[in-house]
A and B are shown apart, each in its own frame.
Chain A
Amino acid sequence: MRLEQHPILEFHRGRRITIDFEGRNVPAFEGEPIAAALHAAGVTTLSHSVRTHSPRGLFCAIGKCAACVMEVNGIPNVRTCIEPVRQGMRVRRQSAEHPPPGNPENFMPRFHEPETVETDLAIVGGGPAGLSAAVYAGRFGLRSIVVEENYLVGGQLIKQTHKFFGSRSHYAGVRGVDIAAILIREARDTGADIWTSSSVIGYFPEKELGVIRNGRYLRIRARNILVATGASEKMISFPGNDLPGVYGAGAIQTLMNVHGIIPGRRVLMVGAGNIGVIVAYQLMQAGVQVAAVCEGLPRVGAYLVHSAKLLRLGVPILTAHTVSKAWGNGHLKGVEIQAVDSRWQPIAGTEKRFEVDTLGLAVGLSPSVELLSQAGAKMCWVSELGGYVARHDEFMQTSIPGVFVAGDVAGIEEASAAMMEGRIAGIHAARRLLGPSTELDSLHREQAAELAVMRDGPFGEKARLGNQRLLKEA
């Protein structure tokens, strides 16, 4: 369902086109991804699972979880959440029964010699961390390539419609979506080459990346690499957890705030941290009913400024409750929650049922470390930072010289921290190539001091403790 009116957002939709979904014409707007157009047309089952043919729908909406893969113009396994619509595009649900395209008997593959592109700094991920690094490295004359797998640049900033806190150098008072536009312009102005719809599929020594761009495989040979791949939404276990209608909270935010499409009519949100509570409030702004927010912990984790808005609107926040089951025939119809004791054991007789067509999961994020782990960077477990992260020093450099990390992949934190870490990584990529200078050193001190101030604040404790543990390990 498309939003026509919104109290604070305006949607600038592109030209009206149609795509072909299994023989049926589906209206779409240029500039939106396939999965969004299908949602707007009421199609939420995007595929069927490989063994039991259970319906599957969108879950992360940012190209991480692959729950939305479909066959597009004959090519299977296309992530339809990050693939933009084109006039006349043929889309269908794939299943194990569909044979692969082409005639395998006549197929004699010959590998092509991939083109190799050289750069001073290859940045994997065009979110706040990656773009900030491009800006700071670019100021010292480094040429950088930002490889972004989405066709939209800006990472998760583009769905953050709230105004940021902090100081002026952290864009306080500016909405996330507008910060993204500023960073993209600054990165381009300092000479960064931004490759959209391009996926890094592997790391090869010495500092080479394999990339799929415009349907072709090529390599980037880089003097420095920054991995700024962000994080993915965590899943939880309960019967019915794979039904269409069960979304990561971030996916709801992307659908609603970026594409102006609401996921359903009535929602239960799981997780009363900032993300769960902010998304629940944004759903209400968009005219969607929020039945309740449930939270496994005995307390609300979100800032009071966010949770108070929900409580004023009469939305119950049920702490020490977890999802016990979800049901529906092809799409979510209802959810049951249950109170838990201090050891997370469900308490019999406390079940509550909600008739909802949408379940939002805001139960934490996992750093997207696959590339670092595959590259052989030393990893360690820091629960305060979201799980496995690459060890890094105060310059954001991993155990592999010249390979840096910044943003959520280095530990789950806010976008402001991602920007500061990205700047530090950009400064040190420049330092590695140009040698030390008083200008670089003073810039580093400035950014490191700002990061420390942020983490010293009342909401920075987890990141401060996590990073202290990480530096001790390095």
Chain B
Amino acid sequence: MNERVVICRCEDITEEEVLDAIRDGAISMEELKRVLRVGMGPCQGRTCGSLIRALLARELGVPVHSIKEWSRRPPLKPVPAGAFFQGEES
């Protein structure tokens, strides 16, 4: 039986790992992202974002609206690197 609770599918991060990071002192979505890579995969946090916000709020004992968004950077969608280059090889 699969007992893992997956929070970030792209980077394969479980609820236990997020909770450990919070117990280790992470207090924001941005910190969790930097420590665990959550939200940095091809979906850019579209699936895990609301779960992580809820976990942080619960563990820190604060309302969900007080948890700030993590920073977003382009590219927001999976992009083939070749889209930016001219020619094949040189």
Q: Interface residues, chain A, CB within 8 Å of chain B?
A: 49-52, 54, 56, 59-60, 63-67, 69, 75, 77-79, 102-103, 106-112, 149, 199-203, 210, 212, 215-217, 232, 234-243, 325-328, 366, 368, 370-371, 373-374, 379, 381, 383, 387-388
The distance in angstroms between the C-alpha atoms of A79 and B79, with both chains bound, is 10
| Number of chain B residues close to chain A: CB under 8 A | 44
Query: How distant is A208 from chain B, measured CB to nearest CB, in Å?
Result: 11
With a CB–CB cut-off of 8 A, which chain A residues contact B3? 239-240, 325
Is A66 a contact partner of B10 (Cβ separation < 8 A)? yes
Is A242 a contact partner of B79 (Cβ separation < 8 A)? no
The 7 closest A-B pairs by CB, nearest first: A202-B74, A381-B65, A66-B43, A201-B75, A66-B42, A112-B86, A374-B72
Query: How distant is A314 from chain B, measured CB to nearest CB, in Å?
Result: 30
Is B1 a contact partner of A69 (Cβ separation < 8 A)? no
**B9 at the A interface (CB under 8 A):** yes
Is B85 a contact partner of A212 (Cβ separation < 8 A)? no
Given A65-B9, A201-B75; A366-B46 close (CB under 8 Å): yes
The distance in angstroms between the C-alpha atoms of A66 and B69, with both chains bound, is 20
Q: Interface residues, chain B, CB within 8 Å of chain A?
A: 1-7, 9-12, 15, 41-51, 64-65, 69, 72-87, 89-90
Contact of A79 among B10, B41, B78 (CB under 8 A): B78
Query: How distant is A36 from chain B, measured CB to nearest CB, in Å?
Result: 19
The distance in angstroms between the C-alpha atoms of A242 and B13, with both chains bound, is 11
Contact of A69 among B2, B42, B74, B81 (CB under 8 A): B42
Given A65-B46, A106-B89, A108-B89; A243-B10 close (CB under 8 Å): no
Q: Which B residue's beta carbon lies closest to that of A48?
A: B12
Contact of A64 among B5, B43, B73, B83 (CB under 8 A): B43
- Some 18 contacts from A to B, beta carbons below 8 A apart, are A50-B11, A50-B41, A56-B9, A65-B47, A66-B42, A77-B78, A102-B89, A106-B89, A111-B85, A215-B82, A217-B84, A234-B50, A239-B4, A239-B5, A242-B4, A370-B46, A381-B64, A383-B64
Query: How distant is A370 from chain B, measured CB to nearest CB, in Å?
Result: 5
Contact of B86 among A110, A212, A215 (CB under 8 A): A110
Is A232 a contact partner of B46 (Cβ separation < 8 A)? yes
Contact of B48 among A235, A325, A381 (CB under 8 A): A235
Is A59 a contact partner of B47 (Cβ separation < 8 A)? yes
Is A371 a contact partner of B87 (Cβ separation < 8 A)? no
Contact of A201 among B51, B65, B76 (CB under 8 A): B76
With a CB–CB cut-off of 8 A, which chain A residues contact B72? 370, 373-374
With a CB–CB cut-off of 8 A, which chain B residues contact A64? 43, 46-47
The distance in angstroms between the C-alpha atoms of A107 and B81, with both chains bound, is 12
The distance in angstroms between the C-alpha atoms of A59 and B10, with both chains bound, is 12
Is B12 a contact partner of A50 (Cβ separation < 8 A)? yes
Is B85 a contact partner of A210 (Cβ separation < 8 A)? no
Is B76 a contact partner of A374 (Cβ separation < 8 A)? yes
Is A387 a contact partner of B10 (Cβ separation < 8 A)? no
Q: Which of A102, A373, A381 has the most CB of B within 10 A?
A: A381
Contact of B79 among A110, A201, A366 (CB under 8 A): A201
Q: Which A residue's beta carbon lies closest to that of B48?
A: A235
Contact of B84 among A59, A112, A234, A243 (CB under 8 A): A112
With a CB–CB cut-off of 8 A, which chain A residues contact B42? 66, 69, 77, 79
Given A217-B84, A235-B47, A370-B46; A241-B6 close (CB under 8 Å): yes
Query: How distant is B82 from chain A, measured CB to nearest CB, in Å?
Result: 7
Is B47 a contact partner of A232 (Cβ separation < 8 A)? yes
A217-B84, A243-B2 given; name 19 further pairs at CB < 8 Å. A49-B6, A51-B11, A54-B12, A65-B46, A75-B80, A110-B85, A111-B85, A112-B84, A149-B77, A199-B77, A200-B76, A201-B76, A217-B79, A239-B2, A240-B4, A370-B76, A371-B76, A373-B72, A381-B64
